[in-house]
Amino acid sequence: MKNFVFVFLLSINLMSFSQEYGSDFPRAIVKSNVSNDIIVYSFISNYLIDEYKVSMLENRFLNRYSELIEINISYSTQRISFKILSSGSKVFLEKFVKHFKYNGYEFI
């Protein structure tokens, strides 16, 4: 009986580990605006950003991602907007939305 319980619990754990991390995350709905060589992307954060963290996060992102020209986070709407050069922007966008617990993105 103990062996049966052990095998049962082990199989449940293996099933939960087999899921890819983030596979149940939604896709970000992204708006874009192109002007010359610069693209402005915006989307809603998938997790709550507290008001006191907004400026800290903006500065952290600017220091961490050299691709960013500018970033704005609105506490009231939870909207993330950022400017980036159009070259390589799709690769960066994919990486950036993952930070906000999204599994990819879609344009509207």
The pLDDT confidence band at residue 12, using thresholds 50, 70 and 90, is: low
β pairing state of 38-44 and 28-35: antiparallel
The strand ranges marked E within the chain are 28-35, 38-44, 68-73, 79-85, 105-107
| pLDDT value at 30 more than 80 | yes
For residue 9, what pLDDT band results from cuts at 50, 70 and 90? low
pLDDT class of 23 with cuts at 50, 70, 90: confident
Domains, in order of start, for the chain? 25-107 (3.30.70)
**pTM of the prediction?**
0.77
Report the pLDDT value the prediction gives residue 16, as an integer from 0 to 100. Answer: 53
The radius of gyration of the chain from alpha carbons, rounded to an integer in Å, stands at 19
